[in-house]
Amino acid sequence: MKNDIDAATIDAARAALRDVPAKQPDKLSKRDAVIALRKEIDAMRRKGYGWSDISAKLGEVGIHVAAASLRSYMTDAKPSKKPATTGTPDPGTPSAPGDMTGIPV
């Protein structure tokens, strides 16, 4: 039949669709742009540049972000160094001074 598609064509289509890279967005929010540039911004900070300097440099290329916002975005983007807590105290730790309910007998 004219509309039938052979197995080799299906395999080729499968490979073509599977190997397509993730589509990059055409535009990013200021926050996402800063996060995308995090390594370069960190490098400038290590070279001694302040947030205002980096903000000005970004403004030169059309990314207008206030120094305070830049700092905030970079702080928010960093992974937490604190271990995750469950909010549940260790069973062997009394919950209040004099409270013996958490101590095994």
Number of other residues whose CB lies within 10 A of the CB of residue 41:
23
CA–CA gap between residue 104 and residue 85 (Å, rounded) = 22
Lowest mean pLDDT among 7-16, 23-32, 85-94: 85-94
The helix-helix angle for 67-77 and 38-46 (nearest 10°) equals 110
The pLDDT value recorded for residue 76 is 87
pTM of the model: 0.56
* Residue 47 clears pLDDT 90, i.e. is over it: yes
- Which residue's structure tokens are 């209040």? 96
44 vs 90, more confident: 44
Domain range annotation of the chain:
26-77
